[in-house]
Amino acid sequence: MTLTGHSLIAGQPVHGGGKTAFGFNPATNEQLDPPYSLITEEQLTTATSAAAQAYPSFSTLDPDTHAGFLEAIAENIEAIGDELIIRAGQETGLPAARLQGERARTTGQLRLFAAVVRQGDFRGVRIDPAIPDRTPLPRADIRQRQIPLGPVAVFGASNFPLAFSTAGGDTASALAAGCPVIFKAHNAHPGTSELVGQAVVKAVNDFGLHPGVFSLVYGPGASIGQALVADPAVKAVGFTGSQSAGIALMRTAAARPEPIPVYAEMSSLNPVFVFPGALKGDVDALAQQYVTAVTGSSGQLCTSPGLLFAPTGEAGDKLAAAVGRAVSACAGQTMLTEGIAGSWNSGAEALGAAAGVDVVGRGTAGPTENAPAPAIFGTNINEFVSNHVLHAEIFGAASLVIRYTTTEELLEAIHRLEGQLTASLQLTAEDYPTAAALIPALEQKVGRIIVNGWPTGVEVGHAMVHGGPFPATSDTRTTSVGTLAINRFLRPVAYQNLPQQLLPVPLQDSNPWHLNRRIDGSVLAADVEVNA
Q: What residues contact residue 82 under an 8 Å CB cut-off, 6+ apart?
A: none
Nearest to 184 by CA among 25, 11, 39: 39
Read off the pLDDT of each residue in 495-505 and give the average, rounded to a whole number: 98
Catalytic residue among 102, 194, 265, 383: 265
Q: Treating both helix axes as pointing N-terminal to C-terminal, what angle do 190-206 and 82-92 enclose, rounded to 10 degrees?
A: 150
Rounded CA-CA distance 175/295 in Å is: 34
Nearest to 400 by CA among 249, 299, 275: 299
Asked about 302 being catalytic, the answer comes back as yes
Burial label for 317, CB within 10 Å (0-12, 13-18, 19+), is middle
Fold held by 272-451:
Aldehyde Dehydrogenase; Chain A, domain 2 (3.40.309)
> Whole-angstrom distance between the N-terminal and C-terminal Cα of the chain?
55
Note whether 182 and 234 are within 8 A (CB). yes
Q: Is pLDDT above 60 for 532?
A: no
Rounded CA-CA distance 503/486 in Å is: 23
Rounded CA-CA distance 523/250 in Å is: 37
Statement: the pTM of the whole predicted model exceeds 0.75: yes
Whether domain 7-24+41-266+480-487 has CATH 3.40.50.20: no
Long-range contacts of 412-417 (CB under 8 A, 24+ apart): 412/381, 412/385, 413/309, 413/381, 413/384, 413/385, 414/271, 414/438, 414/441, 414/442, 414/445, 415/441, 416/384, 416/385, 416/391, 417/269, 417/271, 417/391, 417/445
Rounded CA-CA distance 378/193 in Å is: 39
- Domain layout of the chain by residue ranges: 7-24+41-266+480-487, 272-451
Residue 287 is predicted with a pLDDT of 98
Residue 177 pLDDT grade (very low, low, confident, very high; cuts 50, 70, 90): very high
Asked about 194 being catalytic, the answer comes back as no
**Number of helices and strands in the chain (H, E):** 14, 21
Catalytic residue among 71, 302, 383, 393: 302
Amino acid identity, position 63: P
User: Fold identical between 7-24+41-266+480-487 and 272-451?
Assistant: no
Note whether 191 and 91 are within 8 A (CB). yes
Q: What residues contact residue 381 under an 8 Å CB cut-off, 6+ apart?
A: 309, 402, 403, 404, 405, 409, 410, 412, 413
Helix (H, G, I), strand (E, B) or coil at 473: strand
Residue 171 pLDDT grade (very low, low, confident, very high; cuts 50, 70, 90): very high
Query: What percent of the chain is modeled with pLDDT above 70?
Result: 99
Note whether 273 and 426 are within 8 A (CB). yes
CA angle, corner 167, sides to 164 and 170, nearest 5? 55
Report H helices in 297-357: 314-328, 338-353
Read off the pLDDT of each residue in 351-373 and give the average, rounded to a whole number: 96
Rounded CA-CA distance 164/239 in Å is: 9
Q: For the segment 54-90, what is each residue's pLDDT rounded down to a tens digit?
A: 999 999 999 999 999 999 999 999 999 999 999 999 9
Q: What residues contact residue 320 under an 8 Å CB cut-off, 6+ apart?
A: 310, 360, 378, 401, 403
Residue 1 pLDDT grade (very low, low, confident, very high; cuts 50, 70, 90): confident
Residue 524 pLDDT grade (very low, low, confident, very high; cuts 50, 70, 90): confident
Read off the pLDDT of each residue in 281-289 and give the average, rounded to a whole number: 98
Q: For the segment 293-341, what is each residue's pLDDT rounded down to a tens digit?
A: 999 999 999 999 999 999 999 999 999 999 999 999 999 999 999 999 9
Note whether 372 and 335 are within 8 A (CB). yes
Task: Say if strands 20-25 and 30-37 run parallel, antiparallel, or are unpaired.
Answer: antiparallel
Note whether 332 and 298 are within 8 A (CB). yes
Rounded CA-CA distance 41/500 in Å is: 44
Q: How high does pLDDT run on average in the chain?
A: 97
The DSSP call for residue 17 is S
Q: Is pLDDT above 70 for 115?
A: yes
Q: For the segment 289-301, what is each residue's pLDDT rounded down to a tens digit?
A: 999 999 999 999 9
Q: For the segment 200-254, what is each residue's pLDDT rounded down to a tens digit?
A: 999 999 999 999 999 999 999 889 999 999 999 999 999 999 999 999 999 999 9
